[in-house]
Amino acid sequence: MKRQLDELLDADLQKINHISENKHYAGFSKKFNKEVFVKIFKDSLKYNLEYEVLKEQGTLLLNLQEYNAFVLEYEDYIPITRETMADDDIIKAAKLIAKFHKDNWLMIKNEKEVSLEKVLEKNVTRIADRREYEKVCEINSKLLKNIKVLEAEYEETLVLIHGDFGLRNIMRKDDRLVLIDFERVKYASYYLDFIKYFYQDLNNDKSKIELFLEHYYAHSFEKLISKELEISLVFISSLGILNYTKRVNDKEFERLGLRMLADVDDYFRNN
């Protein structure tokens, strides 16, 4: 694969070490007369989804469909960490994702999560072999009692979400922030983009979340959601993590899923 890419780009690409299921290369391309970045996808569906977004953005140098790969200009991105993230970055990130939610109405081919009830059912069923299943069913039945109201509200929150919004996919470029990595885009509730970001990157810090939401709502068309819909989305996120960590051994991530589930459980105990 590297030899073919080197030939195509007239380059000597170097593999970039990045923990991912995908592969990444970078190097100077004599064909393009610039530094290039190559992303090779493990999964062709994910390649297609990211391709659809990048095509709209007009940032592709070359599309290599037969390899499930594409070539972008190499950018000197500086990663953002929780330690280097200032309040101003939280505001910029809010504006960035607000713009993404407003701008992207592409016709993507993956499944649309337009029914909350169906999303709940799918996610609950997938973890039937886990020991949390009983508790999960109990919580689900509480949500189902109010499903008509929740469903109507959920429908109003549907946009094309990023699907993997968080610091690892927000890059610093000069004094701007840039959103990358669009392989998990899907139609779902805009607020679903925020759950993992709040828990992992903002450490569930109330004032940081408020700052983020203030600027998000100021720059988006979306309405504030009810506490119960928010809890439903925390529940869905936790089930997603509990399903993922069945096949991928990531104890810390699994603990996050369990913490989310405990928060949902607490909510129903107190309400």
Ligand X SMILES: Nc1ncnc2c1ncn2[C@@H]1O[C@H](COP(=O)(O)OP(=O)(O)O)[C@@H](O)[C@H]1O
Chain positions 102 to 141 lying near ligand X, rule: CB under 6 A, are none
In this structure, what token pair is assigned to residue 95? 């504006």
Taking 3-state DSSP, the helix, strand and coil percentages for the chain, each rounded to the nearest 5, stand at 55, 15, 30
- Near ligand X by CB under 6 A, which window of 86-94, 149-157, 175-183, 242-250? 175-183
Q: Which of 2, 8, 22, 230 binds ligand X (CB under 6 A)?
A: 22
- Contact track, ligand X, 183-202, x by CB under 6 A: x-------------------
Residue 172 near ligand X by CB under 6 A: no
Of 25, 37, 154, 235, the residue at the interface with ligand X (CB under 6 A) is 37
Residue pair 144/117 in contact (Cβ under 8 Å)? The answer is yes
- Selected from 52, 113, 181, 193, the binder of ligand X by CB under 6 A is 181
Report the candidate in 56, 87, 97, 93 with the shortest Cα–Cα distance to residue 222.
Answer: 97
Query: Which residues have CB under 8 Å from 109's CB, separation 6+?
Result: 48
Q: Is the dihedral of CA 183, 184, 189, 192 positive or negative?
A: negative
Burial-class residue 207 by CB neighbours within 10 Å (0-12, 13-18, 19+).
exposed
Residue 77 makes contact with ligand X by CB under 6 A: yes
- Could you tell me the smallest distance in angstroms from the CB atom of residue 176 to ligand X? 14
- Where do contacts with ligand X occur on this chain (CB under 6 A)? 18, 20, 22, 24, 37, 39, 72, 74-75, 77, 169, 180-181, 183
- Where do contacts with Mg ion occur on this chain (CB under 5 A)? 169, 181
